[in-house]
């Protein structure tokens, strides 16, 4: 940013404007401490986004002071007059930019809480920048800027001649020019289908999670044995260093931590803990590098599927945003379990035919065996056996009955009475189980007083909104997005569900649901931000048509956003949406200062409307281009080093700002001329001067 200003503004002006950057940053950090805002990934990115914006006010103020000094005004008078002219427009532009971030702060969702620092930090930075721009910058300009009396800005260079000629052509061919802009916007919308959608990318860390779930009811000892097997595989097959400590450059697993029967406590936004259960193993695996993650996860997944066919395996990198249990989820609800699973099987079959889908399952798990013992009350009474006698016999036989306790020093060890494992697996042995009658003192076979059957039933019965609900879950392969899978599955589900029995319904879950909820939480607050922006613009211009012109410039920015995402191969996700929202506030600034200058040229310099448009445009073109250049330059580090999470956001702002700037310098004057029915200007490339100059 400093280099851009020094090369374009010159040494003295560039250094004066550059003093705003450290001053604004230091004051912003101080105010952040006062309001309780911490330094984190989101607030640091907010400072980077604000870096290019905060010099905007200083550039505009210093430029106008230079122009007045070249026209012969004393430095003090030029500074005072410039601040008086610009303080309100710059304040409004800063507030409108901050208001564009307001929906992010007000969003009632997890991502709203996660990204709320964008509004807080950007607002603080812009207001600090405005305060410094109308106080410190004029002071430094009067002290250090030197101009020759009578020296004026040279608007007769090839760049200005080309811009004025182009602008006059646009103003004369109004409907054709407007048609070109509309066609460009409609054409950009057609490119949306080329942009992949992803809610939040995975964290770019040398780390992943492995979750292995045994069938419900599994003893913790079975989980412990499985954990030892996984440890052995990781140590012998995936560990970076061998027994001699060699292979320093190898890629693989560095260390891991296992949690048996439980999950670790929440340690990042992208992790969601699960309820404790005996047959559950959660592993946190650290690798040598981010590049080693994919191979390590794939090898561990393939080994686990072969070694433990009955285990539900879920291996994934953590999300950069809010946690999602599984990327692809379809919830099916209804009153009857058998009918639900009939529909579930059809959904699973359809998912299996979609390319890029893997590891399909459901949250109820595999069915488990259930021993059903129906006691015949009449036969039991004749045999003198009660239900309690049957319960004691079954408990002793299957689970074990505590007979006594053995004490060793300070430990009390229960002594359990239970049949051998082979008998517990034999259904005939259960039928011949002797049931001791507490009343008669005699034993009778269980089969004599009860009917015994073996049934298969769901391992768990889960409900959602009081309805039995089975969630079909699946993972996606590399290069495929969950939202793309949903879009392919949606037509089939909508057509198929029309033939479902009454009372059965489906709904999306997973990444699609989280994305819709997050976008909805932002969209619900957009009218508030829009109202604030409109009120600020009406207060500034005392007009309805001018705010409409300003707001129309936001549409022009979308052309650049789509083109940028397609050209750079980026995706559209929640962070990209935030980039579009913040871009709207940035783009509004350019339109405000341009329209405000048109009015000044008419009111103070006495130019007719057609000449005032050209004169205002030629005076504001350099500050607007400088603001765009500094903002784009400040976002380059976020693009290069921000990773998959911040890169799409930076691309959206940079390309959107570049395209909108080019179109704003032509389209805003065009819309002003059409809204206010200004006469067409004469052809030519000569600079426009105030009346009597």
Q: What is the pLDDT of residues 618-647, one digit of tens each?
A: 888 887 888 788 888 888 887 888 777 788
> What is the band of 683 on the pLDDT scale with cuts at 50, 70, 90?
low
Contact 258, 227 (CB under 8 A): yes
Query: What does the pLDDT look like over 81-105, one tens digit per residue?
Result: 989 888 888 888 888 888 888 888 8
- In this structure, what token pair is assigned to residue 679? 């006469």
Query: What does the pLDDT look like over 57-74, one tens digit per residue?
Result: 888 888 888 888 887 888
How confident is the model at residue 244, as a pLDDT?
41
Taking the C-alpha atoms of residue 619 and residue 12, their distance in angstroms, rounded to an integer, is 20
How confident is the model at residue 687, as a pLDDT?
62
H or E element at residue 313: strand 312-316
How confident is the model at residue 28, as a pLDDT?
93
> What is the pLDDT averaged over residues 188-216?
80
**Residues contacting 635, CB < 8 A, separation 6+:** 48, 49, 52, 650, 653, 654
Question: Quick check: 371 pLDDT over 70?
Answer: yes
Among 152, 139, 133, 135, CA closest to 89: 133
Share of the chain above pLDDT 90, in %: 9
Question: Quick check: 246 pLDDT over 50?
Answer: no
Question: Quick check: 245 pLDDT over 60?
Answer: no
Question: Quick check: 538 pLDDT over 90?
Answer: no
How confident is the model at residue 419, as a pLDDT?
80
> What is the pLDDT averaged over residues 367-393?
88
235-253 burial code (b ≥16 CB/10 A, e <16): eeebbbeeeeeeeeeebbb
How confident is the model at residue 362, as a pLDDT?
84
Question: Quick check: 270 pLDDT over 70?
Answer: no
Query: For the chain, how are helix, strand and coil distributed in percent, rounded to 5?
Result: 60, 15, 25
Radius of gyration of the chain (CA): 35
How confident is the model at residue 115, as a pLDDT?
80
Contact 663, 559 (CB under 8 A): yes
Among 518, 677, 522, 514, CA closest to 609: 677
106-136 burial code (b ≥16 CB/10 A, e <16): bbebbbbebbbbbbbbbbbbbbbbbebbbeb
> Would you call 593 helix, strand, or coil by DSSP?
helix
Q: pLDDT: is 199 or 257 the higher one?
A: 257
* CA distances from residue 247 to 241, 243, 299 in whole angstroms, order as listed: 6, 10, 19
Contact 478, 293 (CB under 8 A): no
Contact 439, 422 (CB under 8 A): no
Query: What does the pLDDT look like over 585-607, one tens digit per residue?
Result: 777 777 887 888 888 888 877 78
Q: Where are the beta strands (DSSP E) in 425-583?
A: 434-436, 443-445, 450-457, 463-464, 467-476, 505-508
Q: Where are the beta strands (DSSP E) in 363-466?
A: 368-375, 401-408, 411-417, 434-436, 443-445, 450-457, 463-464
The phi, psi pair for 197, rounded to 5°, reads -110, 135
H or E element at residue 431: helix 427-431
Among 12, 13, 14, CA closest to 3: 14
Q: Which residues pair with 368 in a beta bridge?
A: 457
Alpha carbon of residue 133 to chain centroid: 34
> What is the pLDDT averaged over residues 647-670?
85
> What is the pLDDT averaged over residues 395-400?
84
* CA distances from residue 621 to 49, 594, 615 in whole angstroms, order as listed: 22, 8, 10
> What is the band of 249 on the pLDDT scale with cuts at 50, 70, 90?
low
> What is the band of 30 on the pLDDT scale with cuts at 50, 70, 90?
very high
> What is the band of 150 on the pLDDT scale with cuts at 50, 70, 90?
low
Taking the C-alpha atoms of residue 293 and residue 285, their distance in angstroms, rounded to an integer, is 9
Contact 19, 12 (CB under 8 A): no
Contact 668, 553 (CB under 8 A): yes
How confident is the model at residue 241, as a pLDDT?
67
* CA distances from residue 502 to 331, 339, 360, 492, 498 in whole angstroms, order as listed: 16, 11, 26, 18, 10
Q: What is the mean pLDDT of the chain?
A: 83
**Residues contacting 345, CB < 8 A, separation 6+:** none
Query: What does the pLDDT look like over 460-515, one tens digit per residue?
Result: 788 888 889 999 988 887 778 888 888 888 899 999 888 888 889 999 888 888 87
Among 195, 92, 323, 203, CA closest to 579: 195
- In this structure, what token pair is assigned to residue 444? 């009778």
| Segment among 145-159, 409-423, 484-498 with least mean pLDDT | 145-159
Query: What does the pLDDT look like over 322-348, one tens digit per residue?
Result: 667 788 889 999 998 889 989 999 999
Helix axes of 75-100 and 510-541: crossing angle, nearest 10 degrees: 150
How confident is the model at residue 693, as a pLDDT?
39
What's the predicted TM-score (pTM) here?
A: 0.72
The phi, psi pair for 271, rounded to 5°, reads -120, 135
How confident is the model at residue 231, as a pLDDT?
92
Calculate the dihedral angle through the C-alpha atoms of 487, 488, 491, 493, rounding to the nearest 10 degrees: -100
Q: pLDDT: is 651 or 664 the higher one?
A: 651
């Amino acid at each position: 940013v400093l280099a851009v200003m020094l090369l374009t503004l010159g040494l003295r002006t560039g250094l004066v404007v550059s003093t705003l950057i450290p001053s604004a940053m230091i004051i912003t950090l101080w105010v952040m401490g006062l309001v309780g805002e911490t330094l984190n990934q989101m607030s640091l990115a907010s400072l980077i986004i604000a870096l290019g914006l905060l010099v905007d006010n200083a550039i505009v103020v210093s430029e106008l002071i230079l122009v007045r000094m070249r026209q012969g005004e004393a430095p003090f008078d030029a500074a005072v007059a410039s601040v008086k002219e610009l303080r309100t427009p710059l304040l409004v532009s800063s507030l409108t930019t901050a208001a564009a971030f307001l929906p992010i702060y007000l969003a009632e969702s997890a991502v709203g809480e996660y990204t709320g620092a964008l509004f807080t930090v950007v607002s603080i930075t812009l207001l600090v920048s405005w305060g410094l721009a109308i106080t410190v910058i004029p002071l430094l300009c009067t002290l250090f800027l030197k101009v020759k009396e009578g020296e004026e800005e040279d608007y007769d260079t090839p760049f200005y001649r080309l811009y004025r000629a182009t602008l006059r052509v646009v103003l004369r061919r109004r409907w054709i020019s407007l048609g070109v802009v509309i066609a460009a916007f409609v054409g950009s919308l057609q490119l949306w289908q080329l942009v992949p959608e992803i809610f939040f990318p995975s964290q770019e860390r040398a780390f992943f999670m492995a979750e292995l779930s045994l069938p419900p009811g599994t003893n913790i000892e079975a989980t412990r044995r499985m954990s030892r097997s996984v440890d052995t595989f990781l140590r012998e097959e995936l560990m970076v260093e061998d027994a001699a400590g060699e292979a320093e450059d190898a890629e693989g697993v560095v260390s891991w931590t296992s949690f048996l029967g439980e999950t670790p406590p929440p340690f990042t936004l992208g992790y969601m803990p699960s309820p404790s259960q005996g047959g559950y193993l959660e592993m946190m695996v650290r690798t040598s590098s981010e590049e080693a993650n994919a191979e390590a996860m794939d090898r561990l997944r393939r080994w686990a599927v072969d070694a433990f066919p009955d285990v539900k395996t879920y291996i994934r990198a953590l999300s950069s945003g809010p946690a999602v249990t599984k990327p692809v989820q379809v919830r099916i609800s209804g009153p009857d379990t058998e009918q639900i699973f009939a529909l579930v099987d059809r959904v699973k079959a359809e998912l299996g035919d979609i390319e890029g889908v893997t590891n399909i399952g459901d949250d109820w798990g595999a069915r488990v065996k259930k021993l059903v013992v129906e006691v015949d009350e009449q036969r039991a009474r004749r045999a003198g056996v009660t239900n309690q006698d049957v319960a004691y016999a079954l408990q002793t036989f299957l689970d074990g009955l505590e007979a006594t306790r053995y004490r060793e020093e300070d430990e009390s060890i229960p002594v359990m009475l239970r049949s051998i494992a082979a008998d517990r697996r034999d259904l005939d042995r259960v039928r011949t189980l002797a049931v001791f009658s507490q009343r008669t003192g005699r034993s009778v076979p269980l089969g004599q007083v009860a009917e015994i059957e073996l049934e298969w039933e769901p391992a768990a019965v889960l409900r959602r909104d009081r309805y039995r609900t089975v969630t079909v879950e699946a993972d996606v392969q590399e290069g495929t997005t969950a939202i793309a899978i949903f879009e392919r599955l949606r037509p089939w589900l909508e057509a198929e569900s029309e033939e479902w029995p009454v009372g059965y319904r489906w709904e999306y879950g997973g990444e699609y649901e989280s994305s819709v909820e997050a976008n909805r939480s932002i969209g619900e607050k957009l009218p508030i931000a829009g109202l604030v922006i409109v009120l600020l613009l009406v207060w500034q211009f005392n007009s309805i048509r001018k705010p409409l012109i300003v707001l129309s410039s936001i549409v022009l920015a979308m052309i650049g956003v789509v083109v940028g995402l397609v050209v750079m191969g980026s995706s559209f996700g929640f962070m990209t949406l935030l980039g579009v929202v913040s871009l709207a506030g940035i783009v509004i600034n350019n339109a405000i200062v341009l329209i405000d200058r048109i009015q000044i040229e008419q009111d103070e310099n006495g130019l007719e409307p057609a000449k005032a448009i050209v004169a205002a445009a030629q005076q504001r073109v350099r500050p607007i281009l400088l603001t765009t250049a500094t903002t784009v330059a400040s976002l380059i580090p976020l693009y290069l080093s921000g990773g998959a999470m911040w890169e799409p956001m930076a691309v959206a702002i940079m390309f959107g700002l570049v395209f909108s700037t080019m179109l704003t310098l032509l389209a805003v004057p065009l819309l002003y001329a059409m809204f206010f029915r200004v006469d067409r200007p004469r052809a030519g490339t000569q600079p426009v001067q105030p009346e009597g100059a």
